[in-house]
Chains A and B, each alone.
Chain A
Amino acid sequence: MASLPLVPASDANAAVWRADELAHASAAVLATGHAALDAQLPGGGWPIGALVEILQAHSGQNEWRLLLPALARARAGPVLLVGPPHMPFVPGLAAQGLACERLLWITAATPASRMWASEQALRCADVAAVLAWLPQARADQLRRLQMAASEHAKLLFVMRPAAAQAESSPAVLRVLVAIQAGSDALRLELLKRRGPPCTQALLMPARMGRLSALLARNQGRAGYAPRPLGNLSDSAAPVEATHHALDSLAGAA
Chain B
Amino acid sequence: MHWIALQALPDAVVAGDAPESAPEPFGSAALAPADATAALGWWALQFTPRVAQVGPAVLLEVSASERLYGGREHMLACVMAPERPVAHVQHAQAATSLVALALLQTGMPPGVVEPDRLPLATLAQAKAHLPTLERIGCRVWGDLRALPRGGVARRFGAPLLDALDQAYGLKPEVYPWLLLPEVFDMPLELSAQVEAAPALLFATRRLLGQLQAWLRARRQGILALELGWQMDARRNTASHGQLLLRTAEPTLDMQHLQRLLGEHLGRITLPAPVLTLRMRSIETAPLPSASTSLLPDELHAGDSLHQLLERLAARLGPEQVLRALPRADHRPEHMQTWRAASAVRAPGNATAGGNTRRPRGTAAGTTPAWAEFYPTWLLATPLRLAVRQDRPLYQGPLALLVGPQRLEAGWWGKGGPDGHADVALRDYFLARSEQAGLLWIYRERLLASQAADAQQVAGHWYLHGLYG
Residues on A close to B: CB < 8 A?
Answer: 58, 60-65, 68, 78, 84-96, 99-101, 103-108, 113, 116-117, 120-121, 123-127, 152, 179, 181, 184, 206-207, 209-211, 214-215, 218, 221-226, 228-229, 232, 236, 239, 244-250, 252-253
Given A105-B338, A152-B301, A225-B391: A88 and B377 interface contact (C-beta under 8 Å): yes
Given A106-B312, A229-B458, A253-B409: A91 and B326 interface contact (C-beta under 8 Å): yes
B437 contacts A87, C-beta separation under 8 Å = no
**Interface hits, B215-246 → A, CB 8 Å:** none
Q: Mark B374-386, 1 if CB is under 8 A from A, else 0.
A: 1111111000000
B372 at the interface (CB under 8 A from A): yes
Tell me which residues across on chain A come within 8 A of B466, comparing CB atoms. Answer: 60-61, 86
B300 at the interface (CB under 8 A from A): yes
A229 contacts B445, C-beta separation under 8 Å = yes
B125 at the interface (CB under 8 A from A): no
Q: Which of B303, B316, B371, B392 sits near A94, CB closer than 8 Å?
A: B371
B443 at the interface (CB under 8 A from A): yes
Tell me which residues across on chain A come within 8 A of B300, comparing CB atoms. Answer: 125
Tell me which residues across on chain B come within 8 A of A90, comparing CB atoms. Answer: 324, 326, 335-336
Tell me which residues across on chain B come within 8 A of A87, comparing CB atoms. Answer: 338, 377-380
B436 contacts A228, C-beta separation under 8 Å = no
Q: Which of A95, A214, A236 sits near B404, CB closer than 8 Å?
A: A236
Task: Report how far A249 CA is from B374 CA in the complex, Å.
Answer: 13
Task: Report how far A26 CA is from B354 CA in the complex, Å.
Answer: 52
Given A64-B468, A116-B315, A232-B427: A107 and B370 interface contact (C-beta under 8 Å): no
B370 contacts A249, C-beta separation under 8 Å = yes
Given A60-B377, A93-B376: A100 and B332 interface contact (C-beta under 8 Å): no
B45 at the interface (CB under 8 A from A): no
Task: Report how far A131 CA is from B321 CA in the complex, Å.
Answer: 14
Tell me which residues across on chain A come within 8 A of B320, comparing CB atoms. Answer: 106-108
B401 contacts A78, C-beta separation under 8 Å = no
8 A-B residue contacts at CB 8 Å? A87-B338, A117-B316, A125-B301, A126-B308, A210-B373, A226-B429, A228-B455, A239-B402
Tell me which residues across on chain A come within 8 A of B139, comparing CB atoms. Answer: none
Q: Which of A104, A181, A207 sits near B321, CB closer than 8 Å?
A: A104
**Interface hits, B407-465 → A, CB 8 Å:** 407-409, 427, 429-430, 432, 434-438, 443, 445, 455, 457-458, 465
B193 at the interface (CB under 8 A from A): no
Give the Cβ gap from A122 to chain B, nearest Cβ, in Å.
8
Tell me which residues across on chain A come within 8 A of B370, comparing CB atoms. Answer: 244-246, 248-249
- Smallest CB gap from A68: residue in B: B376
- Smallest CB gap from A92: residue in B: B374
A86 contacts B302, C-beta separation under 8 Å = no
Tell me which residues across on chain B come within 8 A of A229, comparing CB atoms. Answer: 427, 443, 445, 457-458
Give the Cβ gap from B439 to chain A, nearest Cβ, in Å.
10
Give the Cβ gap from A79 to chain B, nearest Cβ, in Å.
11
Q: Which of B304, B321, B376, B436 sits near A92, CB closer than 8 Å?
A: B376
Q: Which of A104, A226, A248 sits near B400, CB closer than 8 Å?
A: A226
Task: Report how far A245 CA is from B371 CA in the complex, Å.
Answer: 9
Tell me which residues across on chain B come within 8 A of A88, comparing CB atoms. Answer: 324, 376-378
Tell me which residues across on chain B come within 8 A of A181, comparing CB atoms. Answer: 434
Give the Cβ gap from A220 to chain B, nearest Cβ, in Å.
11
Interface centre among A92, A223, A250 (most CB of B within 10 A): A92
B308 contacts A92, C-beta separation under 8 Å = no
